[in-house]
Amino acid sequence: MNRLDGNFTSIEQIQNQYLGKISKPANQAKDATSFKDVLSGKMEDVIGNTSEVKFSKHAANRLMERSISLSPEQSERLSNGIQMAYEKGINDSLVMVDKMAFIVNVPSHTVVTAMDENSTTEHNVFTNIDGAVIA
């Protein structure tokens, strides 16, 4: 059985000894990682790659049926709109990009359906959303 002899100045030293790690001298500065950096990393872990937008099978079919295509600039604005919705705590959002409307499940960064100006004139009622973003 191991015994503690009282020569330790911190809990970290005890943990390091029993976990097999080499302890740092007490006067050595620790890595300076800000709370903001740690939080940002955790948020990216939760929501994945923030720039990646996924399209459900239904949304992909709607894009094809309605001949909707996004330029790289519009894709970036859609991604930014989803990020803004996430930061406001929105779960299901309408994201408007130019004359296109996207219903997005924000936590998963997944476009659920997509409409262009021709589609929205027939159906301009959006349900089951808790926020909207004009990107």
Question: What is the value of pTM for the model shown?
Answer: 0.61
In the DSSP assignment, the letter for residue 98 is T
pLDDT confidence of residue 17: 67
- Tell me where in the chain the CATH 3.30.2310 domain(s) lie: 48-134
pLDDT digits (tens, 9 = 90+) for 6-27: 666 677 776 676 676 554 555 5
Q: Which residues of 89-119 are buried (b: 16+ CB within 10 A; e: fewer)?
A: ebebbbbbbeebbbbbebeebebbbbbbeeb
pLDDT digits (tens, 9 = 90+) for 17-59: 667 655 455 554 455 667 766 666 665 555 444 458 999 999 9
Picking from 105, 101, 78, the residue whose alpha carbon sits closest to that of residue 91 is 105
Whether residue 4 is predicted with pLDDT greater than 90 in this model: the reply is: no
Task: Tell me the fold of 48-134.
Answer: YaeB-like fold (3.30.2310)
Torsion angles phi and psi, residue 101, rounded to 5: -120, 135
